[in-house]
Chains A and B, each alone.
Chain A
Amino acid sequence: MPHARTLLRFASRLTGNSIHAEDLVQETLLLAWRGFGQFAPGTNARAWLFRILVNVFRQQKRKRRLSVATEPLAHAVPAAQASIHETVEVMQALDRLGSDQRMVLLLAAVEGFTCREISGILDIPIGTVMSRLSRAREAMRELLAEVVR
């Protein structure tokens, strides 16, 4: 099932809860399956799936008042290369960002989307993506410096 693992990785960091993350991806992929007719062939399928996921996340958040990123998920999302110590530091810093900044940073740095693609996924102007990304990177640098101290 293409993109299920990248969606789950993003959802895990977004919700901070592996059960909610699985629910979110499950709902996303079922909606995509049922609404596949709305997908424009030739466009970016991965960005389309992430856009659905973000919309479902926003709806669920409104409904459930999800507490975002309250527990580390080192056990659920394995680190790529960093040590466990480094991973925990990065996650602690990331979890202290607001959800808007965390979303753009994850989409850009981890998922590799361009600013234009992020603008489509989050349905916000590209200028907003750029400013959120700049502020998120700045905040992360300061938070990581704090965590390390």
Chain B
Amino acid sequence: MNDCAAIWMRTPLYLSAEMEAGERTAFEAHIARCPACARKIAEDRNLDAALRSALGGLPDASRLEQFLQRKIAADRRRRHQAWAGAIAASLALLAVGLMAWARFTRPPQSFADAALDHRTEVIERQPRHWRSGDMELAGLAAKTGLQPGQATALGAAGYRLERAKICGIAGRRMLHLVFSNGTRTYSIFVSSHLAPVETVRTVRQGAEQVAGFETGHFLGLVVSDGSAAECAELAYAAARRL
């Protein structure tokens, strides 16, 4: 290594002790015989020493450290709060989800009440005050908001309206209509009701199949001993006539 320009270029590596052994030996051999390079390197060393001497003192950082410790503690608290908030939000979401699940999977109380009424009053024939005369039936139907003859027409083809009475289903006054074809009997519960959409939903309730339906103006429940499809068909038949 004889070129002074190359020596000057590599001097930073020499001063920071990053030079490999072979290169350092050649570098030192050059400065041993080159007074100009030796002087320059000595000047660089002196300059670094002067800089360290002038600027090497450490400033007081206690105020900064205290501020940072407070900031980091607040940061930690915020992170914990964010975690706690996220957990609380997740739990709330889970609770809402469970409520919604329960709401949409569990049959409404009206289905259970209708099935129970059908079982006790129609199948088990517990004594109730039924109406069966045409005038009486027409009077009950009118109280429910049905047009004359509409209650009779709710039955499926081949079924005849046998009897009716007003009953309480899930806190709602409903007209309980019993239809029969001589061998099979089923119930339709109707009340006036304003519904935004028309729906039919079927649910197995013990031995009975219940189909709930909503038309624009009526709420109905059909209880029968048939399958879900049959019950739904009876519900559709009634809903079409309302």
- Chain A residues within 8 Å of B, Cβ to Cβ: 1, 4-6, 8-9, 12-13, 22, 25-26, 29-30, 33-34, 76-82, 86-87, 89-91, 94, 105-106, 108-110, 113-116, 129-131, 133-134, 137, 140-141, 144
Determine the distance from Cα of A94 to Cα of B50 in the docked complex, in whole angstroms: 11
Query: Are A9's CB and B9's CB within 8 A?
Result: no
| A-B Cβ contacts below 8 A, count | 122
Contacts A82-B54, A86-B53, A115-B18; A141 near B47 (Cβ below 8 A): yes
A5 cross-chain contacts in B, Cβ below 8 A: 58-61
> Which of A79, A106, A130 is within 8 Å of B53, CB to CB?
A79
A144 cross-chain contacts in B, Cβ below 8 A: 47, 50
Given A5-B58, A79-B57, A115-B13, 17 more pairs with CB closer than 8 A: A5-B61, A9-B59, A12-B59, A13-B55, A33-B72, A33-B75, A76-B59, A89-B54, A106-B55, A108-B15, A110-B51, A110-B52, A115-B12, A115-B18, A134-B9, A137-B43, A140-B47
- Chain B residues within 8 Å of A, Cβ to Cβ: 8-13, 15-18, 43-44, 47-48, 50-61, 63-65, 67-69, 71-72, 75
Contacts A91-B54, A141-B47; A4 near B64 (Cβ below 8 A): yes
Q: Which residue, of B15, B54, B75, has the highest number of chain A Cβ atoms within 10 A?
A: B54
A137 cross-chain contacts in B, Cβ below 8 A: 43-44, 47-48
